[in-house]
Amino acid sequence: MDKQMFCFQCEQTACGTGCAGKAGVCGKTAPTAEAQDELTGALIGLARACDDAGETETADSLILDGLFSAVTNVNFDEESVKELTEKVQEETRAVLGAAGMAEEAAYDMNDIWNAQEDIRSLKSLILFGIRGMAAYAYHAKVLGYTDPEVSAFFVKALRTIGEDLETGQLLPVVLETGEVNLKCMEMLDRANTETYGTPAPAAVPLNVEKGPFIVITGHDLKDLELLLEQTEGKGVNIYTHGEMLPAHAYPELKKYPHLKGNFGTAWQNQQKEFADIPAPVLFTTNCLMPPKKSYTDRVFTTELVEYPEIIHIGEEKDFTPVIEKALELGGYDEDRAFTGINGGSEVTTGFGHGAVLAAAAQIVDAVKAGDISRFFLVGGCDGARPGRNYYTDFVKQTPEDSIVLTLACGKYRFNDLDLGTIGGFPRIMDMGQCNDAYSAIQVAVALADAFGCGVNDLPLSMVLSWYEQKAVCILLTLLHLGIKNILLGPTLPAFISPGVLDILVENYNIAPTTTPEEDLKKILG
């Protein structure tokens, strides 16, 4: 087969090595993949210009847009990617022109894909890490929060990717990506809580009431707020989907009575679950799968999410077409009961660091008394690859005196399970979106302080699932913090070379997941 594209940035990449045909496993076509590579090369050119001649607000914004657009399952529209590339090139010329400097040729991404495998691996870790970080920075920016240090690092990282450097020069930048991502996640956490209040535990039903409704998915809380405002008093109920579930925990969002519950399960089930619902679906960010013809007329996108021939809601954020479609379809004619993957009728969310740390003393006492033996952080991105039932089986087999902390969409594998309570706490605590990994880190650090030990000495085990680039930058943050003994699955990233894997194993004891039984035996001794 002739190589028509090359992409290995997500977990489902073809044959565990890279998508190289007419389209990737995610549905991204070869021309779109090529366009995204051209966009990334243009971003490296813009970063070089900013590094040499000075950053601009427009450049910082375009870098965020460009990096986020290339995250898996965000933008499938070749033409919109090309339009963004043209804007990047125009800004590059403007930055250099203002400084009286000549324009350089855009960077050729094939120089990375064809590089020596360890160099390729380390540059991929930086690139995919900053793509994930850009998503977090983008969400914060929507709420009016920016950080010049974060913006400057995007420029530094992009320039680094485009330079001829050795392994020893790239490794520090890989860890710096994790360090800066921690600052970025803290900024997003502050943006969310200062705008919408501190999340509080909430039980969220999975049933859908009769009448018109809209399903909103993705991660952007601002889009949800605008949709709630625009549907107020119009007889249209709103249901979250996927990573939008944690919205039910924010006081300023849950105050809307027509924010009713959560529809569906994990993102990779959307083609089945959206097939015949009598309601529109609004995608605010990833993860969009190519819609089937049976429901393309009911899918709407906004922000950076785009798909050819799907109605896109622009910067004006007028959701009238979505609302009109909801009223036209009418919803169900009677209440409908749905369940999670394991048959549960409701899920809980809202156990962010604000809620957990408020009960820190009680938790510490429960550990010291022997009521709580261990914490498991079982979280990350879900995906369609067979074998992800590992995470369901793992959680089911955790000791009855343990607590499972979870976040991101991987929780849909088990978040409807009823594992009971311990020490007055539910055994499964949903800490929020992948965006909320900061909460898990804060809780771990606080517990370590309370026990007078390091995070690695806590009765805490991290069992992580990954799919796309936001998981990559979170992993790099954990490595920056020196956290060891992470179990990562369901497969190791294709872009991690044997040489780089050796470094990770030697320094951090990262290991692939095996079976729930074997991994629990190893953890518990």
List the structure tokens of 127: 């690139």
Q: Is the pLDDT of residue 3 over 80?
A: no
Within 10 A of 161 (CB to CB), how many other CB atoms are there? 25
CA–CA gap between residue 172 and residue 150 (Å, rounded) = 16
For the residues 393-414, what does the mean pLDDT come to?
A: 97
Q: Same domain for 318 and 282?
A: yes
Domain membership flag for residue 341: no
Q: Binning pLDDT at 50, 70 and 90, where does residue 104 land?
A: confident
Which of 147, 164, 195 is where one domain is finished? 195
For the residues 149-165, what does the mean pLDDT come to?
A: 98
Which of 171, 195, 219 is where one domain is finished? 195
Q: State phi, psi for 377 to the nearest 5 degrees.
A: -95, 105
Residue 308 is predicted with a pLDDT of: 96
Domain membership flag for residue 118: yes
CA–CA gap between residue 336 and residue 367 (Å, rounded) = 41
- 229-238 tens-digit pLDDT: 999 999 999 9
Residue 514 is predicted with a pLDDT of: 97
CB 437 within 8 A of CB 407: yes
Q: Same domain for 260 and 291?
A: yes
CA–CA gap between residue 208 and residue 241 (Å, rounded) = 12
Measuring CA to CA, which residue among 435, 429, 434, 458 is closest to residue 446? 458
Q: Determine the structural domain holding residue 166 and report its residue range.
A: 14-195
List the structure tokens of 406: 């979870």
Q: State phi, psi for 501 to the nearest 5 degrees.
A: -60, -40
Q: Same domain for 295 and 381?
A: no
Q: Same domain for 483 and 504?
A: yes
Domain membership flag for residue 3: no
- 445-485 tens-digit pLDDT: 999 999 999 999 999 999 999 999 999 999 999 999 999 99
Q: Is the pLDDT of residue 365 over 80?
A: yes
List the structure tokens of 205: 């039903």
Domain membership flag for residue 265: yes
Q: Binning pLDDT at 50, 70 and 90, where does residue 105 land?
A: confident
Q: What does each C-alpha distance from 371 to 71, 423, 425 come to in angstroms? A: 42, 6, 11
Dihedral sign, Cα of residue 209, residue 215, residue 216, residue 217: positive
**0.85 exceeded by pTM:** yes
Scored b (16 or more CB within 10 A) or e, 474-509 reads bbbbbbbbebeebbbbbbbbbbbbeebeebbeeebe
Q: Same domain for 86 and 167?
A: yes
Q: Count of domains in the chain?
A: 3
- The type of residue at 419 is L
Measuring CA to CA, which residue among 404, 400, 374, 375 is closest to residue 392? 404
Q: What is the mean pLDDT of the chain?
A: 96
Q: Same domain for 24 and 162?
A: yes
Residue 1 is predicted with a pLDDT of: 41
Domain membership flag for residue 8: no
Residue 2 is predicted with a pLDDT of: 60
Q: Same domain for 189 and 240?
A: no
Q: Same domain for 365 and 502?
A: yes
% of the chain beyond a pLDDT of 70? 100
Q: Same domain for 184 and 58?
A: yes
Among the ranges given (34-48, 54-68, 198-212, 378-392), the one the predictor scored with the smallest mean pLDDT: 378-392
- 16-55 tens-digit pLDDT: 999 999 999 999 999 999 999 999 999 999 999 999 999 9
**Any residues with CB less than 8 A from the CB of 58 and at least 6 apart, and which?**
91, 94
Residue 423 is predicted with a pLDDT of: 82
Among the ranges given (176-180, 380-384, 442-446), the one the predictor scored with the smallest mean pLDDT: 380-384
Please classify residue 456 by burial: count the beta carbons closer than 10 Å to its beta carbon, then call 0-12 exposed, 13-18 middle and 19+ buried: middle
CB 1 within 8 A of CB 20: yes
Domain membership flag for residue 340: no
CA–CA gap between residue 5 and residue 18 (Å, rounded) = 9
CATH of the domain at 140: 1.20.1270.20
Domain membership flag for residue 279: yes
CATH of the domain at 207: 3.40.50.2030
Q: Is the pLDDT of residue 161 over 50?
A: yes
Domain membership flag for residue 236: yes
- 302-358 tens-digit pLDDT: 999 999 999 999 999 999 999 999 999 999 999 999 999 999 999 999 999 999 999
CA angle centred on 351, ends 198 and 206, rounded to 5°: 105
Q: Same domain for 177 and 230?
A: no
| β-pair type (237-241, 259-262) | parallel
Q: Same domain for 23 and 150?
A: yes
Q: Same domain for 47 and 170?
A: yes
Which of 170, 195, 220 is where one domain is finished? 195
